[in-house]
């Protein structure tokens, strides 16, 4: 049954802990209630903001429409074969809890994505990724409901048009669909990804030799690394990585590398090199910066933080200063990874 409320604080529902209000608020626990909601005449023309874990959103003002909190649960095996198991997962399932479930069952593919905040429904929108693995590598399909018609549709891998922290749901279909479940293809025979970042070094420190390598060990290494570098949203308001790592022409990278020999770069293709935005921001002098309660984290410059009572506008103003500074120093444009709601 739908319980639509008025004037609800969103502070507990966004990891930046921004104190903004929703004009209307409803929590959805199944697909049928969502379809019913979308056909209610009183709300058909009302702007809607879809919330999962609230871990990838910056609220810059009160939301004068309807905030829809997706709480659809469930982890079910839809089918399996000799090599793979296919899990259909509700959009409201906590992402890290899903990863731990898979690791516990021996289903491989998600272990490098441990401790990423948020819910399953938001994951394909963003094509989340970490430590050399992206969601699209374990994605099979998803179901979503059209906001205007209430009709359910299945999207395959090809339909989603995944890119780096991108999908069709952030571009052509932005705001048109609400994801209700995602089906993942996990591996019964793991392929280990340990070369990105400090995974191998951390595994060595943990005493995990190559012959003892497992998806559980990789998951634990990733959790250790993330906890050592990234602030806990329960302690300091943040949305994780605020900016995407930019991809620049190889010729530009080579030129910058002559000026800055320590500049890291990861080839994306023969023409493009991915550069860590955190390194650029740190070199531009922003690491540990604070103005009022808005700041740049002292351990990871890629993370903008709310130390207490910063507004969304203050965080956004800081983000723009950081962007301008990086552009001026390196000639590189960095773009927000976080969904900014104005």
Catalytic residues: 165, 241, 337
Residue 198, phi then psi, degrees to nearest 5: -100, 20
Paired sense of beta strands 63-70 and 21-28, if any: parallel
Helix %, strand %, coil % for the chain, to 5?
Answer: 30, 30, 40
Q: Which residue has the tokens 């001026």?
A: 328
The answer to whether the beta carbons of residues 156 and 182 sit under 8 Å apart is no
The answer to whether the beta carbons of residues 323 and 334 sit under 8 Å apart is yes
Rounded alpha-carbon distances, angstroms, from residue 258 to 219, 243, 251, 254, 261: 36, 25, 11, 6, 6
Other C-beta atoms closer than 10 Å to the C-beta of 221 total: 26
Task: Find the angle CA(121)-CA(312)-CA(302) to the nearest 5 degrees.
Answer: 70
Token reading at 93: 């399932």
The answer to whether the beta carbons of residues 137 and 108 sit under 8 Å apart is no
CA dist., res. 333 & res. 323, Å (int): 7
Longest dimension (CA), the chain: 63
How deeply is 36 buried, as exposed, middle or buried, from its count of CB atoms within 10 A (0-12, 13-18, 19+)?
Answer: middle
The answer to whether the beta carbons of residues 184 and 89 sit under 8 Å apart is yes
Beta bridge partners of 69: 27, 51
């Amino acid at each position: 049954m739908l319980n639509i409320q008025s004037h609800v604080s969103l502070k507990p529902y966004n990891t930046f802990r921004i104190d903004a209000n929703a004009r209307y608020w409803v929590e959805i626990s199944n697909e049928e209630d969502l379809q019913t909601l979308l056909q209610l005449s009183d709300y058909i023309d009302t702007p809607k903001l879809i919330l999962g874990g609230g871990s990838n959103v910056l609220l810059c003002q009160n939301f004068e429409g309807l905030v829809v909190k997706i709480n659809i649960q469930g982890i079910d095996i839809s089918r399996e074969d000799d090599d793979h198991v296919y899990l259909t997962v509700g959009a409201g399932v906590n992402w890290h809890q899903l990863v731990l479930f898979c690791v516990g069952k021996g289903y491989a593919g998600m272990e490098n994505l441990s401790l990423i905040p948020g819910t399953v429904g938001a994951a394909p929108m963003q094509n989340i990724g970490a430590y050399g693995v992206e969601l699209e590598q374990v994605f099979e399909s998803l179901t979503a409901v059209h906001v205007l018609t209430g009709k359910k549709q299945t999207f395959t891998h090809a339909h989603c048009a995944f890119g780096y922290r991108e999908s069709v749901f952030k571009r052509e279909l932005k705001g048109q669909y609400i994801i209700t479940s995602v089906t993942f293809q996990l591996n019964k025979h793991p392929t280990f990804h340990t070369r990105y970042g400090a995974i191998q070094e951390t595994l060595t420190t943990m005493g995990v030799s190559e012959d003892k390598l497992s998806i559980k060990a990789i998951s634990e290494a990733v959790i250790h690394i993330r906890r050592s570098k990234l602030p806990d949203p329960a302690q300091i308001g943040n949305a994780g990585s605020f900016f995407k790592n930019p991809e620049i022409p190889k010729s530009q990278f080579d030129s910058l590398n002559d000026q800055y020999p320590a500049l890291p770069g990861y080839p994306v293709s023969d023409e493009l090199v991915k550069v860590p935005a955190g390194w650029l921001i740190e070199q531009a002098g922003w690491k540990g910066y604070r103005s009022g309660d808005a700041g740049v984290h002292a351990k990871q410059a890629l993370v903008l933080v709310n130390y207490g009572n910063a507004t969304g506008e203050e965080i956004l103003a800081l983000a723009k200063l950081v962007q301008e500074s990086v552009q001026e120093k390196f000639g590189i444009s960095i773009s927000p990874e976080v969904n900014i709601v104005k």
